[in-house]
Amino acid sequence: MGFLYEKKTQGGEPVIEITGYEGKAPSLTVPEKIEGLPVRSIGNHALADRDEVREISLPRSLKTLHLFAFQNDAALERIRVYDTTDDLYDGVIRSCDALREICIEVTEKDNYLLMRDLLQETDNALSFVLHGSADLFGQEKTLCLTFPEYVREAREDTMARAIHFTIEGAGMAYRECVEKHALHLAEYDRLLPRLTSYDDLSAARICLDRLMYPEELGEAARAQYENWLFAHTEKVLRHLVATEDVERIRFLAKNKLLDQAATAIPLQEAADRGAAQIVGILMEAGQSAPPSFDPFCL
């Protein structure tokens, strides 16, 4: 069992193209080299139509993702990749409906080509975690950005013999903040009021990640995000409790972004789940223990 591959020639040099994977695994890590040759590409449909893969990690040597490389990977939730992968063909992540996060290791300043191209591949909500090394920025830098979903609808105008397209949702506007060599964070931050209650989970992630990783975050935007989180305490906490996101709950508590009147239900749900660490954080933040809470049972 393992990766299937072919030897090819690229720029006069022998390289490897991944053509498939034999066997089943919840996590796939594509190697940097095979038989001493660099892995440069993932072939057409090479890792597509898999129902067990939840995470795929790609090497720095990889340059190209060919047609439908991961198409219809039903369980795929996360992709880890370097920004050196800068040649994407159509349909790479098409119908990967469980995909929620793409982590990009940044090796070049102001290179957002990969991020832009992947965003154009899907209208689903998608989060990016960009990490740059100290060698590149002088210190380690992390930026987390979420792009809400949108819906593109086609309406036929029979009288005019034309088809008109409309876009519902703010997801497209968020995507327009990403260009090949520019990331317009100020514009990204101005879009929060365009989100509706339908987008609350994306809005919560946007607010939390911009506050936790405040690259180029202005004071007005900071206040906007803090006010939104405080006003939606119960919904945000219930989601974070359900996903056992201790890091973000601790951040909210530490920065006093919790409306204490709205923490009772999330605290009870944390106690019911036996989430002792979360219960402790919320209680320390000022909420009394829920009626059914027994610390000796955790």
Q: Is 79 exposed, middle or buried (0-12, 13-18, 19+ CB in 10 A)?
A: buried
Distance CA 80, CA 63 (A): 14
What Cα–Cα distance (Å) separates residue 140 from each residue in 24, 83, 200?
35, 16, 30
Pick from 87-91, 133-137, 291-295 the range whose average pLDDT is largest.
87-91
Interstrand relation of 162-168 and 151-157 (parallel, antiparallel or unpaired):
antiparallel
pLDDT at residue number 152? 73
Per-residue pLDDT averaged across 289-293, rounded?
Answer: 47
Give yes or no for residue 165 having a pLDDT over 70. Answer: no
Give yes or no for residue 112 having a pLDDT over 50. Answer: yes
**Would you call 187 helix, strand, or coil by DSSP?**
helix
Half-sphere exposure (Cβ direction) of 108: Cα atoms closer than 13 Å: 15
| Residue 243: domain span | 232-298
Examine residue 295 and state whether it is found in any structural domain, yes or no. yes
Examine residue 221 and state whether it is found in any structural domain, yes or no. no
Other CB atoms within 10 A of residue 155 CB:
9
Residues 112 and 156 reside in one and the same domain: yes
Residues 166 and 252 reside in one and the same domain: no
Total domain count for the chain?
A: 3
271 against 154, higher pLDDT: 271
pLDDT band of residue 281 (cuts 50, 70, 90) is very high
Phi, psi for residue 93 in degrees, rounded to 5: -115, 25
Residues 18 and 55 reside in one and the same domain: yes
Residues 82 and 120 reside in one and the same domain: no
Per-residue pLDDT averaged across 16-20, rounded?
Answer: 98
Residues 76 and 116 reside in one and the same domain: no
pLDDT one-digit tens code per residue, 250-262: 999 999 999 999 9
Give yes or no for residue 137 having a pLDDT over 60. Answer: yes
Say if pTM beats, i.e. exceeds, 0.85.
Answer: yes
pLDDT band of residue 292 (cuts 50, 70, 90) is very low
pLDDT band of residue 193 (cuts 50, 70, 90) is very high
**Residue % of the chain over a pLDDT of 90:** 85
Distance CA 140, CA 125 (A): 27
pLDDT at residue number 168? 85
Per-residue pLDDT averaged across 72-77, rounded?
Answer: 98
Distance CA 241, CA 268 (A): 10
pLDDT at residue number 11? 86
Residues 240 and 202 reside in one and the same domain: no
Residue 154 parent element (H or E) = strand 151-157
201 against 161, higher pLDDT: 201
Per-residue pLDDT averaged across 289-296, rounded?
Answer: 46
CA dihedral 184→182→174→131, nearest 10 degrees, is: -100
The CATH number assigned to the domain holding 60 equals 3.80.10.10
